[in-house]
Amino acid sequence: MATPRILPADQEPRSHTFGVVLAGGLARRMGGGDKPLRLLAGRPMLDHVLERLRPQVAALALSANGDGARFAAWGLPVLADPLPDFPGPLAGILAGMEWVAAQGGQWLVSAPGDSPLLPGDYVASLWAARRAAGGALACAESGGQAHPPCGLWDIALRHDLRAALLAGERKISRWTARHGIAHAAWPATPIDPFFNVNTAADLAAAAAWVK
């Protein structure tokens, strides 16, 4: 288990936390294509995710495979999986960790590209939960349900994560359980801030909420 780097309690999380949006999800239940590029209330869903996450982090990148040019309009780094065969969201988190390391940073926060209702206290609450637990990881939960892709990650764990992926690990919660993970809780009513858009009906519900 890595020893977490402890920062002063009064240090503002935004200044030393980098964000990655996991934008590679395919909208199979919505006819295919990049789910974050689906229109939500007249704008790409990715716009809503970035709009909510950007004020909470020092810098942003997208995790996505394939031709990064389809995301050119957003002017952000597009990080391909660092391992072959598309091993899932853990690979996107590893890509984000390695990007943060290259920027000289220490902390990564991740968010799915199909979660357009992220709370304004997302990063601050993850930091508070991690500090209280004294560990290296934290993830969001709402209504008692954990959301493993919505997490805060100490990039000191990137080498362990790479080794786990090479050994065949694909499940976020199983890997985080090896290191211990804190949970930051939000209510799921009247709106779940970690609502995932997976179907056309979900897209319509989210559009009503963002309006």
Kindly report, residue by residue over 149-196, the tens digit of the pLDDT: 999 999 999 999 999 999 999 999 999 999 999 999 999 999 999 999
- Tell me the whole-structure pTM to 2 decimals: 0.90
Q: May I ask the CATH class of domain 13-210?
A: alpha beta
Q: Residues 173, 155, 106, CA angle at the centre, nearest 5°?
A: 135
The pLDDT assigned to 1 comes to 41
pLDDT of residue 84: 84
Burial class of residue 124 (count of CB atoms within 10 Å of its CB; 0-12, 13-18, 19+): middle
Intervals of the chain under pLDDT 50: 1-10, 27-28, 30-31
* 8 A C-beta contact, residue 34 and residue 125: no
- pLDDT at position 5 is 46
Q: What's residue 10's pLDDT?
A: 44
pLDDT (0 to 100) of residue 210? 86
- Please say whether the dihedral angle defined by the alpha carbons of residues 80, 76, 104 and 120, taken in this order, is positive or negative: negative
pLDDT of residue 16: 86
Please state the separation of Cα 90 from the chain's center in Å: 10
Q: Give the model's pLDDT for residue 45.
A: 96
**Which helix H or strand E contains 69, and what residues bound it?**
none
Residue 25 has a pLDDT of 54
Residue-level pLDDT at 33 = 64
Q: Which CA distances in Å does 34 have to 8, 39, 55, 67?
A: 40, 11, 24, 12
Distance CA(161)–CA(176), nearest Å, equals 9
Q: Please give the pLDDT value at position 12.
A: 62
pLDDT number for residue 8? 43
B/e letters for 53-77, b = 16+ CB within 10 Å, e = fewer, are beebbeebbbbbeeeeeebeebebb
